[in-house]
Amino acid sequence: MKLSYVKLQKLMVENQMKGTDLIRAAEITAYAMTKINKNEPVSLENFMRICKVFHCDIGDVCEVILDD
């Protein structure tokens, strides 16, 4: 199983937001942002903070990709 944050990246582009902007707006750590950039899991709390920034649901920022 893998995670994909392509949806989050699209939201960031649509809102003209860089990683540092998201770090500040969502009050997440640079380490969490690095994990997101590498498609690695982050805490549910980080997801909730990101969703609050974009007024969306968790499924709007990430996607689980099942192995074949």
Confidence band, pLDDT 50/70/90 cuts, at residue 1 = confident
| Number of structural domains found in the chain | 1
Q: Could you please report the per-residue DSSP string of the chain?
A: -EEE-HHHHHHHHHTT--HHHHHHHHT--HHHHHHHHTT----HHHHHHHHHHHT--GGGT-EEE---
CATH code at position 6: 1.10.260.40
pLDDT in tens, 15-39: 999 999 999 999 999 999 999 999 9
Domain that holds residue 17: 2-65
pLDDT in tens, 37-64: 999 999 999 999 999 999 999 999 999 9
